[in-house]
Amino acid sequence: MENIQGKVIIITGTSSGMGRSTAKLLAEHGAKVVLAARREDRLVLLKEEIENSGGTAIYKVTDVTSHKQLQELAEFTLNTFGTIDVLINNAGYMPVSPLHAQKVNEWDQMIDINIKGVLYGISAVLPYMRKNKKGQIINVASALAHVVVENAAVYAGTKFAVKAITEGLRQEEFENNIRTTLISPGAVQTEITNGITHEETKNSVKEMVSQVWLQPESIAKAIAYSINEPEEVSTNEIIVRPTIQKAF
């Protein structure tokens, strides 16, 4: 993992799950990680954990639905480390439910976090990466960026959008040596299912995840792999599912 050593990497959604595991793994391999999430108490604990293990980490409380806060996150990173090598748009929200349940507020939140949050992150770092003719933007989507299943129409729609945005970014910025990567996890054991308010859907998802699931560390390894590849290699898409996961 020699190509991770010394890189400055911003990671959103680091208070738990895949973001937390990714921050720890990248720091273990010598990256300078910038932790971003809304829950400051968890950011403080993670920063301390990384530093106690010999790694380098800073944090900034950040709500990805705020363009201004993501701009400030990029500026904070540049002011501290002088560069931005990688952005990992990991923050996500998954309150899946059938359309007839009319969870309109949750639809709005998914659009704000899953789509706008990714766009705002890209907007915050892209001018710097274009100026320096290098960088990598990693967007965490879902296996549901590739197929739609019942009760997940809106969530899948947001992740299809992330897939399209990532491919558009690749086509627009390849000449600037900006690498783009889409990471699409299948069933992963994280806190994301806690946001499901439709009880029937929540129970079915929890049942599936309890039987067919990955640990967040498996996604962290996929992300680390894409970063560690030589600069002339752009790993554009990775889907990571449990071996025994059939659905989506």
Average pLDDT for consecutive 10-residue bins of the chain (248 residues)? 96 96 98 98 98 98 98 98 98 92 96 98 98 98 94 96 98 98 90 74 72 89 98 97 84
* Residue 227 domain-assigned (yes or no): yes
Residue 10: CB atoms within 10 A of its CB come to 28
* Residue 248 domain-assigned (yes or no): no
Specify the pLDDT at position 120: 98
- CATH, residue 47: 3.40.50.720
Inter-residue long-range contacts of 206-209, CB under 8 Å, 24+ positions, other chains counted: 208/247
* Residue 93 domain-assigned (yes or no): yes
What is the tally of structural domains in the chain?
1
Contact present, 116 and 68 (Cβ < 8 Å): no
* Residue 171 domain-assigned (yes or no): yes
User: Is residue 225 among the annotated active site residues?
Assistant: no
Specify the pLDDT at position 94: 87
Active-site hit among 93, 120, 155, 225 = 155
Specify the pLDDT at position 192: 64
* Residue 243 domain-assigned (yes or no): no
Distance CA 48, CA 59 (A): 11
Q: Closest Cα partner for 62 from 50, 78, 51, 76?
A: 76
| pTM: predicted TM-score of the whole model, two decimal places | 0.94
Specify the pLDDT at position 195: 77
Specify the pLDDT at position 191: 66
Note down the domain range covering 119. Answer: 8-238
* Residue 244 domain-assigned (yes or no): no
